[in-house]
């Protein structure tokens, strides 16, 4: 049997006990249906090997050898990962386009007696829904953006808003990047496709009838591009500016970037990348602050001589559309909660 997916909602696949992606690990790592597990019927090397035979030798030989590989790998999965599944287990299986890999594996599972279904069109059908939502259809959601210089606590405010019941979208969290040269996290960023999958599903869980608060971003977060429909909606969105003092921002940034500061060598390598923009003398001074543990001084210098200038240029290039400015002389937990409450009150008036 086949199952057709027609929406991106989180509950769209809840009728299945397990969603199985049988593509190679490399394909799965690039992107996959949310919640799916990877039981590859061909490894990365095996897929490349069969592909080469298909192109350079013959279709028949590729299919014959491919069938043997799929059967061996399927047997291993049944004996291991699926060994504890009872007779009532109901999986959904997919591959790239709902073809031979998923069809073969699903057939074996069905012969065992499991109520197995195939995703119509495979991963490509899911990907087409993501592309339509983020690039082709106008976005239904209404954004309100939090603006403010680096270190203003915008991401912390977003999560405090969520705790207060306000809809928010953490784009930097989805992209696994703090949105600056020094903002890369220890784990790598997701692929562009995976970022879009995360974003599309996050949007599908939000009510278009209520405003969505997000952080003002450039069109790129690290190496990930914000898709066209979302970027267009953000460009037109009203903004709430967080005007925090330099001292407050330096203290907050030191806490927020603790994971970066815990690895001085890694931080030093990032600072070195700023020499062309900020000059050798200034960067050498920053490295001395880093080596001496003067982190708040380093944070203040970075913001004053690098980040704030970049923000000023960015603001000058766009329509501000600022509807309110909230001042902060400190950014501790109680201050973040107060700012979130003020923003929530403003949203009631929009």
Instruction: Give the N- to C-terminal CA distance of the chain in Å, as an integer.
Output: 48
Spatial distance between the Cα atoms of 328 and 247, rounded to a whole number of angstroms:
10
Task: For residue 278, indicate whether it is catalytic.
Answer: no
Q: What is d(CA 40, CA 22) in angstroms, rounded to the nearest whole number?
A: 4
Question: Does position 182 have pLDDT exceeding 90, yes or no?
Answer: no
Mean pLDDT to the nearest integer, 1-12: 92
CA-CA distance, 283 to 158, in Å (whole number)? 32
Q: Quick check: 283 and 108 in contact, CB under 8 A?
A: no
**Mean of pLDDT values over 134-156:** 94
Query: In the structure, what pLDDT confidence band is assigned to residue 179 with cuts at 50, 70 and 90?
Result: low
Residue 98, pLDDT > 90, answer: no
* Pair type for strands 224-225 and 220-221: antiparallel
Structure tokens, 178 = 């703090």
Backbone phi and psi for residue 320, each to the nearest 5 degrees, phi listed first: -70, -50
Q: Which of 167, 166, 111, 172 is nearest to 141 (CA)?
A: 167
Mean pLDDT on 287-301: 92
pLDDT of residue 184: 55
Identify whether the C-beta of residue 166 lies closer than 8 Å to the C-beta of residue 348.
no
**What's the chain's average pLDDT?**
92
> Which residue(s) pair with 92 in the sheet?
19, 117
**pLDDT mean over 83-92:** 97
Average pLDDT over residues 155-171: 97
Residue 337 has pLDDT above 90, yes or no: yes
Query: In Å, how far from its chain's centre is CA 110?
Result: 35
State the DSSP code for 2.
E
The residues pairing with 78 across neighbouring beta strands, listed in sequence order, are none
Angle at 207 between CA 8 and CA 242, to 5 degrees: 115
pLDDT higher than 80, residue 40:
yes
Give which of 221, 219, 213 is closest to 242, Cα–Cα: 213
Length of the chain: 350
pLDDT of res. 50: 92
From 95, 213, 251, 271, the catalytic residue = 95
Structure token pair of residue 268:
């030093």
- What φ, ψ does residue 223 adopt, rounded to 5°? -105, 10
Predicted confidence at residue 311, as pLDDT, reads 77
- DSSP-assigned letter for residue 320: -
230 Cβ partners below 8 Å, 6+ apart? 134, 139, 199, 203
E strand spans, 28-100: 37-38, 91-94
pLDDT score of 79: 97
The contacts found for 311-318 with CB under 8 angstroms, 24 or more apart, are 311/149, 311/150, 314/218, 315/147, 318/235
183 or 236, which is more confident? 236
At 46, list the tokens. Answer: 């095996």
More confident residue, 112 or 217: 112
Cα 179 to Cα 171: distance, rounded to the nearest angstrom:
9
Confidence of residue 312 (pLDDT cuts 50, 70, 90): confident
The model's pTM is 0.90
Confidence (pLDDT) at 183: 59
Report the interhelical angle of 246-256 vs 154-163 (nearest 10°).
70
Question: What is the model's pLDDT at position 288?
Answer: 94
Percentage of the residues of the chain whose pLDDT score is greater than 70? 95
């Amino acid at each position: 049997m086949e199952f057709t997916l027609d929406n991106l909602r989180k509950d769209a696949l809840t009728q299945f006990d397990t969603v199985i992606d049988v593509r190679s690990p490399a394909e799965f790592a690039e992107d996959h249906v949310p919640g799916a597990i990877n039981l590859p019927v061909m490894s990365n090397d095996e897929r490349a090997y069969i592909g080469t035979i298909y192109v350079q030798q013959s279709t028949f030989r590729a299919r014959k050898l491919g069938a043997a590989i799929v059967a061996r790998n399927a047997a291993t999965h049944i004996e291991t990962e699926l060994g504890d599944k009872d007779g009532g287990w109901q999986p959904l299986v997919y591959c790239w386009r709902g073809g031979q890999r998923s069809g073969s594996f699903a057939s074996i599972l069905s012969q065992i007696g499991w109520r197995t279904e195939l995703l119509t069109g495979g991963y490509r059908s899911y990907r087409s829904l993501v592309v339509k939502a983020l690039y082709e259809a106008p976005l239904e959601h209404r954004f309100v953006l939090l603006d403010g210089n680096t270190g203003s606590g915008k991401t912390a405010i977003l999560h405090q808003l969520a705790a207060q019941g306000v809809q928010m979208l953490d784009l930097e969290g989805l992209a696994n990047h703090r949105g600056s040269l020094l903002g890369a996290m220890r784990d790598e960023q997701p692929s562009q496709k995976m970022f879009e999958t995360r974003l599309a599903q996050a949007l599908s869980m939000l009510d278009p009838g209520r405003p969505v608060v997000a952080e003002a971003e450039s069109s790129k977060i690290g190496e990930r591009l914000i898709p066209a429909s979302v970027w267009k909606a953000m460009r037109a969105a009203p903004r709430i500016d967080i005007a925090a003092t330099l001292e407050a921002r330096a203290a907050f940034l030191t806490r927020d970037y603790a994971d970066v500061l815990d690895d001085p060598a890694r931080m030093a390598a990032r600072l070195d990348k700023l020499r062309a923009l900020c000059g050798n003398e200034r960067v050498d001074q920053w490295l001395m602050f880093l080596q001496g543990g003067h982190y708040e001084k380093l944070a203040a210098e970075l913001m004053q001589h690098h980040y704030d200038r970049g923000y000023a240029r960015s603001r000058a290039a766009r329509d501000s559309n600022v509807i309110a400015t909230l001042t902060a002389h400190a950014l501790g937990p109680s201050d973040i909660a107060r700012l979130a409450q003020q923003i929530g009150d403003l949203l009631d008036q929009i």
